[in-house]
């Protein structure tokens, strides 16, 4: 389990660094009002949530695979509720940055979710 989790940890860190470099490079060419100042924090937020959820799912898969499905559904629901709460709180507190934040949040959500699903599928096959 440890080697699988550390392999995942290494891959997601490489993914995050590469994706951050792409985002900051694209952001360099875009006007400043299109870039949210919360971008670095969003990367840390998505990275930490993904690591925590994966750790819980790896632990659940060690017990029984039937529990893995339950944990996966629960983790997905809780993660989605957390994401909605963060979006709402930030938008209510920073209305001037709402649109760039929501667009950035959505893009990061899509990329991290795809990465997570691919990782879970490759782990479940083995």
Q: Which domain holds residue 22?
A: 2-125
Residues 61-88: tens digit of each pLDDT: 777 767 778 888 898 999 999 999 999 9
Q: What is residue 126's predicted lDDT score, i.e. its pLDDT?
A: 62
Provide the 3-class DSSP secondary structure of residue 55.
helix
Count how many domains the chain has. Answer: 1
Q: Work out the angle at residue 122's Cα, subtended by the Cα atoms of residues 116 and 123, and round it to the nearest 5 degrees.
A: 85
Q: Do 31 and 123 form a contact (C-beta atoms < 8 A)?
A: no
- Give the mean model confidence (pLDDT) for residues 15-29: 89
Q: What is residue 125's predicted lDDT score, i.e. its pLDDT?
A: 66
Q: Quick check: 18 pLDDT over 90?
A: yes
pTM as predicted: 0.88
């Amino acid at each position: 389990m440890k080697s699988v989790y550390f392999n995942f940890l290494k891959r997601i860190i490489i993914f995050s660094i590469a994706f951050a470099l792409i985002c900051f490079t694209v952001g360099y060419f875009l006007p400043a009002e299109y870039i949210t100042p919360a971008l670095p924090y969003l990367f840390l937020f998505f990275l930490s949530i993904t690591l925590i959820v994966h750790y819980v799912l790896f632990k659940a898969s060690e017990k029984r695979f039937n529990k893995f499905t339950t944990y996966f559904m629960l983790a997905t629901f809780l993660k989605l509720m957390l994401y909605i709460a963060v979006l709402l709180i930030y938008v209510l507190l920073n209305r001037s940055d709402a649109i760039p934040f929501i667009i950035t949040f959505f893009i990061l959500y899509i990329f991290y979710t795809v990465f997570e699903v691919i990782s879970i599928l490759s782990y479940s096959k083995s």
